[in-house]
Amino acid sequence: MAVSEKRIDAVRRFNRFITKHIGALNEGLLNSRFSLTEMRVLYELHTNDGLTAGDLAKLLSLDPAYLSRLLKKFKSEDLINTVKSTADGRLRFLSLTNEGRRVFAPFIEASRAEVATILEPLSDAEQIRLIASMNFISSTLDSPEKGTDPIIIRSHRPGDIGWVIHRHAVLYAHEYGLDASFEALVAKIGGEFLENYKPEYEHCWIADRNDEILGSVFLVQKDESTAQLRLLYVEPTARGLGVGRNLIEECIQFAGRKQYKKITLWTNSILHAAIHLYEEAGFKLVDEQPHHSFGKDLVGQTWDLVL
């Protein structure tokens, strides 16, 4: 796919910004005598046991010859040592010496303090948005890493509902072309939930990974025997991970505990992925009507699950 010069320039501009912002252009990172590359090598050896030079080269995408020169330098300064593998005499495992750990330890705290300095002026919402953007860049440019932190399903906290409204408006405008009247509807639903929240009969669940919101769903009381599922959404980066399925299951389990007889929901026929999840969970289509809303000709659908 051809890439425009404008987009190329935007990526280069971001690269210049971030390298300057983290101090990567300084001769010594974190006011140390080590370069960025040297610091990354020492960090990996500090964090991971049993790495070989080949492992490091692959992990950090470093030229083996260049890495070899760095390792020789570290050995001459008594920062690292090598141990022959007992299983395969051709392998040499690298590790920090006691001196290496003593020298490197202060930079762990210095790095944390530097990041804290960047984050502290930001509000909680801004911090969450920044981290979510970083995670999005990482997941877009790299394959999923093994050992990814788990996704948890939690109750809503202050600020969550506003974020959910924002993401609904952005995603539905981008993916389905809905206009601002859809955002107004979502804001109304979110506001009514906060104003009239009855925790003994209603709940909001947030899918969360490292303080990054990946999705949400609401279950509200329609009447004494019927609960209504509302505002299910999943971030594009989390689709295919079972987030939507888990959120719907939380609603069903909660409704059962509260002795509701039925869960109902209203959606539109263009939301194919969500409808598939509803069908999978046992919901049945009970009504559909064409309508013109949110700047589009749509087909509204009502789905029910008898408990």
CA distances from 46 to 95, 100, 102, 107, 134 (A): 7, 9, 11, 11, 24
Give the model's confidence band at 31: pLDDT under 50 very low, under 70 low, under 90 confident, else very high: low
Separation CA 95–CA 80 (nearest Å)? 6
pLDDT (tens digit per residue) in 55-77: 888 888 889 899 999 999 999 99
Whether residue 228 has pLDDT greater than 80: yes
Q: Find the DSSP H helices in 22-121.
A: 36-47, 53-60, 64-76, 98-119
Q: Which of 241, 249, 44 is nearest to 148 (CA)?
A: 241
> In which residue are the tokens 């210095």 written?
110
Amino acid 122: pLDDT? 87
User: Which of 79-93, 198-212, 262-276 is least confident?
Assistant: 79-93
Q: Provide the 8-state DSSP code for 148.
A: P
Separation CA 217–CA 228 (nearest Å)? 11
Separation CA 92–CA 111 (nearest Å)? 29
pLDDT (tens digit per residue) in 138-159: 777 765 554 467 889 999 999 9
Mention every residue, 6+ apart, whose C-beta is less than 8 A from residue 59. 44, 51
Amino acid 147: pLDDT? 44
Which one-letter amino acid corresponds to residue 144?
P
Amino acid 9: pLDDT? 85
For the chain, domains (ranges, CATH) are: 20-121 (1.10.10.10), 152-306 (3.40.630.30)
Separation CA 153–CA 146 (nearest Å)? 21
Q: Which of 112, 92, 89 is nearest to 43 (CA)?
A: 112
Phi and psi, residue 234, nearest 5° = -135, 135
> In which residue are the tokens 């009504």 written?
287
Burial 25-47 (b: 16+ CB within 10 A, else e): eeeebbebebebebbbbbbebbe
Cβ contact 243:234 at 8 Å: yes
Q: DSSP labels for 231-248? A: EEEE-GGGTTTTHHHHHH
Mention every residue, 6+ apart, whose C-beta is less than 8 A from residue 167. 213, 233, 235
Q: Which two tokens stand for residue 247?
A: 């959120």
pLDDT (tens digit per residue) in 252-283: 999 999 999 999 999 999 999 999 999 999 99
Mean pLDDT, residues 37-63: 84
Cβ contact 190:161 at 8 Å: yes
Name the pTM for this structure. Answer: 0.61
Which one-letter amino acid corresponds to residue 70?
L
